[in-house]
């Protein structure tokens, strides 16, 4: 009979993969660009923050595009009220 693996083993594998990735980033930045540890950590942090911001922006774009069916319809499929009630701009006679 095989011993069961704990349920958190997948989580630990992901954590170790992140540790190895962080170590590879640190060693690579220090070796390639001759940065010290503090500078390499800041580059990784800025890279991570920009990646998260771009990911949230792209998620918003994709969700917005997924909710659009037609350009003149809202989410529930009704005609756009602004398009229905659109009136031409008044013309002014200037002296």
Distances (CA, A) of 54 to 45, 67, 69: 14, 20, 25
pLDDT in tens, 8-51: 676 667 777 778 888 999 999 999 999 999 999 999 999 999 99
Predicted local distance difference test score (pLDDT) of residue 53? 96
Domain membership flag for residue 37: yes
The DSSP secondary-structure symbol of 92 reads -
Domain membership flag for residue 77: no
Domain of residue 33 covers 11-72
Domain membership flag for residue 94: no
- What is the tally of structural domains in the chain? 1
């Amino acid at each position: 009979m095989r011993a069961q693996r704990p349920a958190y083993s997948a989580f630990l594998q992901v954590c170790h993969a992140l540790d190895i990735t962080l170590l590879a980033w640190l060693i690579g930045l220090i070796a390639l660009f001759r940065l010290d540890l503090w500078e390499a950590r800041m580059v990784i942090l800025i890279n991570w923050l920009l990646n998260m911001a771009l990911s949230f922006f792209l998620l918003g774009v994709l969700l917005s595009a997924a909710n659009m069916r037609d350009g003149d319809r809202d989410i529930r499929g009704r005609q756009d009220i602004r398009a229905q009630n659109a009136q031409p701009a008044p013309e002014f006679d200037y002296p």
